[in-house]
Chain A
């Protein structure tokens, strides 16, 4: 099944107890599709219950990218968290596992260039 990883790349960052997730379209032409589908609500629902705080989204059409800011996602922050990955560096990999709905996959660059997967 197609996942977000087929459409986009992602990188996690941290500052205090807030995690950030930058999501970048592999093909800038997919930006409107991604922006319509990858809402903060969907991101929060997919990562629940592990991300407890609010999820904010910034739209960057000129960069074909979305930035998600997840407050309270790092168990008190890098220096307090007892997690194996206290920075939440692996959070982006979890997000990229998000399944793509068939209609989104069909309308993306995947439909025209399946060899790119």
Chain B
């Protein structure tokens, strides 16, 4: 039997289940487990937290998750790789040092990857945004931070120096998985086919339970057993980059052609050119074959050279978002909800409350459904009128919230449950910068 490397995914987002990762390590005994916990906006939010407290700015679940997974990882010998460092990998590393000591591994080699934060560089280069008009300079002081998506390189370096825990900030999600494969199999930096396959494995695993039957169940049509105990995925990867996908024995969920294909296509823009810092992966010839219950073979990934640029995400303050609503029931409920929303729009206009964006919905009718899927004559008898607006400041948000609450006595009949809340808007935009200007660093956390 060919030598294989077992790599699992212990979290596909920050709020993912923690006990499932313990089960993954204990039952599947993987050589490496990756915890992918950074959404697009998360790092900018973490920078805001770090500005208030220099020891903050890493994942809010880092302590609970690491405390739970370190003991089984130490027992099995599993290497842990995570981007939970967010905007402060060094502080997360110091906490990991304490947690490792608590788990009886005082000298565990813990590495921290930095250099993804490129705020000053991006201010200087001022590259045009890809997904909105303008450049960082147009946003002025609203810019909070800019982070580059690093590749696998610094993680590979850390692993080759013996790291058993690697904590990063922003790294391209698939690169978190590609790195231990490169470290194990010694794939060359221009071995595009194998790098493309490693990226494919990372792409399939990075959303955790979305490969194993999470985000899939549709009762009566697509049934999934045991979602309260959903098993997290792992891949047995061969030296040529092809792999078998599965989940731990005795866990809930399912791994088959449909779950794998749905996840392969997830968030993909061009199956022939999945742009990553380490290679451009090509998924067009990928094939899945079911080997048995919850065991799927994946083959046929390919790749080519990466772009000369790295993607950066710029986080910026974006006003205040106020959101609220009031509910209606019975016959005519939809008409009363629409009347409530019309009243709100009229009051906001009369009072001259400055609003940069405003959206209204009737939850239960058209808040989610789009286009022709919206039922034209819905006899829906349980709805909520919802209004969301972007405004410049807290005072305007409060004024709109006041108008929502005023519907209690001044709106249509039978309105119940009026409420509202406001939050600081924090948005992101992306841009490209030359890759050779970004200098990742690796450091080891000193022993306790």
Asked if A and B bind, the verdict is: yes
Interface residues of A (CB under 8 A from B): 5, 9-11, 13-18, 20, 22, 24, 26, 45-51, 58, 60, 62-65, 67, 69, 75-80, 82-85, 90-91, 93-95, 97-98, 117
Secondary structure call for the B interface: mixed
Within 8 A of A (CB), among B254-272: 258, 261-272
A9-B222 in contact given A79-B318, A82-B357 (Cβ < 8 Å): yes
B228 at the interface (CB under 8 A from A): no
Contact between chains at A24 and B131 (CB < 8 Å): no
Return A16 CB to nearest CB of chain B, in Å. Answer: 4
CB interface residues, B 420-448, toward A, < 8 Å: 425-430
Residue interface bits B278-310, CB-to-A below 8 A is 1, else 0? 000000111110000000000010000000000
Of B2-10, B150-158, B365-373, the segment with at least 4 beta carbons within 8 Å of chain A is B365-373
Q: Are B430 and A16 in contact (CB under 8 A)?
A: yes
B124 interfacial contact with A, CB 8 Å: no
Residue of A nearest to B283 (CB): A60
Are A24's CB and B265's CB within 8 A?
yes
User: Could you tell me the distance between the alpha carbons of A49 and B366 in the complex, rounded to whole angstroms?
Assistant: 13
Cβ A63 vs Cβ B269 within 8 A:
no
B61 is an interface residue with CB less than 8 A from chain A: no
Residues in B neighbouring A79, C-beta threshold 8 A: 40-41, 318, 426-428
List, in ascending order, chain A residues with CB within 8 A of B395's CB.
Answer: none
Contact check, A84 vs B386: say whether CB atoms are below 8 A apart: yes
Interface presence of B130 (CB below 8 A): yes
**Complex Cα gap A93–B265 (Å):** 16
Which residue from chain B places its CB closest to the CB of A79 in the assembled complex? B427
Apart from A63-B265, A90-B368, list 5 A-B contacts with CB within 8 A.
A20-B269, A50-B370, A63-B287, A80-B390, A84-B363
Contacts of B267 in A (CB 8 A): 13-15, 20
Q: Report A-chain residues with C-beta under 8 Å of the C-beta of B258.
A: 9, 24, 26
Q: How many A-B residue pairs have CB under 8 A?
A: 141
A91 to B371, CA, bound (A): 10
Q: Are B271 and A58 in contact (CB under 8 A)?
A: yes
- Chain B residue nearest to A14 (CB atoms) is B267
Q: Which residue of chain B has its CB nearest to the CB of A77?
A: B131
A90 CA to B361 CA in the complex, in Å? 15
Q: Which B residues lie at the A interface, using CB under 8 A?
A: 40-41, 130-132, 215-216, 218, 221-222, 258, 261-272, 284-288, 300, 318, 321, 323, 357-359, 361, 363, 367-373, 386, 388-390, 425-430
A85 touches B368 (CB 8 A): yes
Determine if A24 and B261 form an interchain contact, defined as CB atoms under 8 angstroms apart: yes
Question: Nearest CB to that of B360 among chain A residues?
Answer: A82
Known contacts A26-B258, A82-B359, A83-B359; is-contact A15 B373 (Cβ 8 Å)? no
9 contacts between A and B (CB under 8 A): A9-B218, A20-B266, A58-B271, A62-B287, A69-B270, A78-B40, A79-B318, A94-B373, A117-B221
Contact of A91 with B370 in the complex, beta carbons under 8 Å: yes
Residues in B neighbouring A47, C-beta threshold 8 A: 370-373
What is the bound-complex CA distance between A78 and B132, given in angstroms?
13
Q: Least Cβ distance of B208 to chain A in Å?
A: 15
Closest to B358 in A: A82
The residue in A14, A63, A90 that gathers the most chain B C-beta atoms within 10 A of its C-beta is: A63
A81 to chain B, nearest CB (A): 8
Look across to chain B and name the residue whose beta carbon is closest to the beta carbon of A58. Answer: B271
- B40, B286, B373, B427: the one contacting A97 at CB < 8 Å is B373
Q: Given B222, B268, B429, which contacts A22 in the complex, CB threshold below 8 Å?
A: B268
